[in-house]
Amino acid sequence: MNAKYIFAKSIYAKCTPHENKSSYKTLSSSSVLSLQLSLSLSLSLSLHHDSKDLSFPLSSLSSSSHNNHLLLSQLLSSFSKKKPNKWAHNSHGRSGVVFQPFEELRQDLNLVPSVPDQSLARQKFAGDCEAAINEQINVEYNISYIYHAMYAYFDRDNIALRGLAHFFKESSYEERDHAQKFMEYQNKRGGRVKLQSILMPSSEFDHPEKGDALYAMELALSLEKVTNQKLINLRNVAEQSNDIQMVDFVDSNFLAEQVESIKKISEYVAQLRRVGKGHGVWHFDQMLLHEGDGAA
User: What is the closest distance, in whole angstroms, from the C-beta atom of residue 110 to Fe ion in the complex?
Assistant: 40
Binding mask 164-193 for Fe ion (x = CB under 5 A): -----------x--x---------------
In the complex with Fe ion, the residue whose CB is nearer, 178 or 235, is 178
In the complex with Fe ion, the residue whose CB is nearer, 35 or 296, is 296
Within 8 A by CB and 6+ apart from 9, the residues are: 83
Distance CA 129, CA 237 (A): 6
In the complex with Fe ion, the residue whose CB is nearer, 140 or 212, is 140
End-to-end CA gap in the chain:
86
Residue nearest to Fe ion (CB): 178
The interface region with Fe ion, picked from 28-36, 126-134, 219-227, 270-278 by CB under 5 A, is 219-227
Within 8 A by CB and 6+ apart from 168, the residues are: 147, 148, 150, 151, 154, 216, 220
Binding mask 221-240 for Fe ion (x = CB under 5 A): ------x-------------
User: What is the closest distance, in whole angstroms, from the C-beta atom of residue 179 to Fe ion in the complex?
Assistant: 8
Q: What is the DSSP string of 31-90?
A: HHHHHHHHHHHHHHHHHHH-TTS--S-GGG--S-HHHHHHHHHHHHHHHHHHS--HHHHH
User: What is the closest distance, in whole angstroms, from the C-beta atom of residue 145 to Fe ion in the complex?
Assistant: 12
Residues that bind Fe ion (CB under 5 A): 175, 178, 227
